[in-house]
Structure 1
Amino acid sequence: MLGVFSSSIVSPPDELVAAGSRTPSPKITSDALVNRFVQSNSSAISMQIGDFVQLAYSHSKESAVLPRSFAVKDDIFCLFEGSLDNLGSLRQQYGLAKSANEVMLVIEAYKALRDRAPYPPNHVVGHLEGSFAFIVFDKSTSTLFVATDQVGKVPLYWGITADGYVAFANDADLLKGACGKSLASFPQGCFYSTTVGGLRSYENPKNKITAVPATEEEIWGAKFMVEGSAVVAATE
């Protein structure tokens, strides 16, 4: 799955901008990145949302136990990969039908977060148990919300394209050729919200997240880590 967002939606992380400046390497534009994804994934679907957002996904090579799904409701778009172990209880909590799948659950959870402000976003994501990564874009408010599970069972990466767009994808190789050294693994157990103003840990919401510049030999430009945690948020 792939989500590409202009700087009018998402401010490019300073650490990834700096990494790309330290070690310049080939990049491509956001449009070229989406085209590359579509061409390299059979039956890929891509969509343009307004002038500043593109989403794409494919079921090609997906895991049987960690499927990918897409849904849109009330101008809220969601890409989801993985599965939730407590989907049944969450359906009851949010008043959803038994037929509701993970991607619909995440949309409802996001709506609850948005409409109950200032409801803590870490509470919403913290209730999700399982293996997952998701990208939510709310067109009505131009809000982005991205999160991964606590142990990184579903990988997610982010980087900056040649034209300054922030790209999120589950395929590191796809972003390597598009973002150069402005690339990192999205830290596990964390969420990114344009509403709260950046990256947060939902396991340890009071702990600061820092980015450690990577060495020249590594493919990553930086490694994001939650302070006070022994777990490194990016591995090669």
Structure 2
Amino acid sequence: MLGVFSGEVVEAPGELLAAGSRTPSPKTRAADLLDRFVGQTNSAISIHLGSIANLAYSHSHHSPLRRRVLAVKDEIYCLFEGGLDNMGSLKQEYGLCKTANEAVLVLEAYKALRDRAPYPLSSMLAHLSGTFSFLLFDTTTSTLLVASDPDGKVPLFWGITADGWVAFSDDLGMLKGSCGKSLAPFPPGCFYSNAQGGLKSFENPKNKITAIPATEEEVCGATFKVEGSLVLEARH
């Protein structure tokens, strides 16, 4: 799956910009990345969301345990990969029918939070039990929400294209060709929300997130870690 968003939606992380500056490598524009994804992926579907965002995905070569599904409702788009173990209880909580998939569930959970705000975003995400990563874009408010499960079972990466767009994908090789070293794994147990201050941990909401520069030999230019023992170890 792939999502690319302009600077009007996503403020490019300074750590990724710095990583690309330290070790310059070839990049392409966001439009070229999208064209390459569609051209190299069987049965790819591309969705243009005005001049500020694009989504693309394909059912080709995905595992039955890591389905890619799309839901669209009320100008909100959700692209979900993976599966939730507690779908039954979550469907009851949000009043969904038995056939509703994970993308529909996340979309409805987001709408409930947006319209009624009964609990923090981190709490909503913490209730999702399973293996997943997803991209949700609300075109009515230009709100972006991206999240990855605490174990990182569904890989997700993000990077910056030559024209400053921020791209998210489960395909590291696809992003590498367009983002160069301005590229990093999306940290497990975390979410990005342009409406709530950028990158945060929903697993440990009070902990800061630090970017650790990578060596020149590594594919990605940085790794984001939730503050704790792992960050301290990486600094030594």
Q: Percent identity?
A: 64
* 1:166-211 Cα shifts (integer Å, max 9, x gaps): 0000000000111000000000000000111111101100000000
- The CA distance in 1 between the partners of 2:46 and 2:63, in whole Å, is 20
Matches within 5 A, 1:119-134: 119-134=119-134
Deviating above 2 A after TM superposition, structure 1's stretches of 4 or more consecutive aligned residues are 116-119, 229-232
Deviation at 1:119, TM superposition (A): 3.1
In structure 2, stretches of 5+ residues that fail to align are: none
1:145 is aligned to: 145
* 1:135-194 Cα shifts (integer Å, max 9, x gaps): 000000000000010100000000000000000000000001110000000000000001
Matches within 5 A, 1:104-183: 104-117=104-117, 119-183=119-183
Amino acid at match of 1:20: G
- The CA distance in 2 between the partners of 1:28 and 1:2, in whole Å, is 15
- The CA distance in 1 between the partners of 2:122 and 2:116, in whole Å, is 13
Classify the secondary structure of the residue corresponding to 2:96. coil
In structure 1, stretches of 5+ residues that fail to align are: none
Number of residue pairs matched?
232
* Structure 1 residues 90 and 231: CA distance shift in structure 2, 3 A: farther
Matches within 5 A, 1:87-102: 87-102=87-102
Deviation at 1:218, TM superposition (A): 0.7
- The CA distance in 2 between the partners of 1:126 and 1:115, in whole Å, is 19
Using the size of structure 1 for normalisation, the TM-score is 0.96
Deviation at 1:228, TM superposition (A): 1.6
Q: RMSD between aligned alpha carbons?
A: 1.2
Amino acid at match of 1:223: T
- The CA distance in 1 between the partners of 2:119 and 2:180, in whole Å, is 37
Matches within 5 A, 1:33-72: 33-72=33-72
Using the size of structure 2 for normalisation, the TM-score is 0.96
- The CA distance in 2 between the partners of 1:100 and 1:229, in whole Å, is 39
- The CA distance in 1 between the partners of 2:230 and 2:6, in whole Å, is 33
Deviation at 1:118, TM superposition (A): 7.1
Classify the secondary structure of the residue corresponding to 2:123. helix
Classify the secondary structure of the residue corresponding to 2:78. strand
